[in-house]
Amino acid sequence: MFKPLDPLLHSELRLAIMSLLISDIEAEFPYIKEQTGATAGNLSVQVDKLTAAGYIEVEKTFKGKRPCTICRITAKGHQAFEAYIEALKSYLQIDKS
């Protein structure tokens, strides 16, 4: 039986963001932008959606005099990502009986 896929994580860019954060735990906005190839505007919208869902948290700070935005995965986000991977696995299993 197939498990449902989380529609929030099924978006390519949101999945890419979560994939980066699951391994690095936190990352600065420019790094995520560079790694995903997203525009700043699109990335900002997707980060807002993940934040609203409680999957990531965003800290706005400064490096010297320059603004710095840091994204971190939350425990809820970690659980959601793991559940998404398990759901994907259910689609990939082939009954060999």
Give the pLDDT confidence of 27-43 residue by residue, as tens digits.
Answer: 999 999 999 999 999 99
Whole-number Å distance between alpha carbons of 84 and 91: 11
Whole-number Å distance between alpha carbons of 30 and 67: 11
Ordered domains of the chain (ranges, CATH): 12-88 (1.10.10.10)
Selection from 55, 60, 64 nearest residue 83 by Cα:
55
Q: Which two tokens stand for residue 97?
A: 């009986």
3-state secondary structure of 93: coil
Q: How confident is the model at residue 94 (pLDDT cuts 50, 70, 90)?
A: low
Selection from 29, 27, 80 nearest residue 53 by Cα:
80
Q: Which pTM does this prediction carry?
A: 0.89
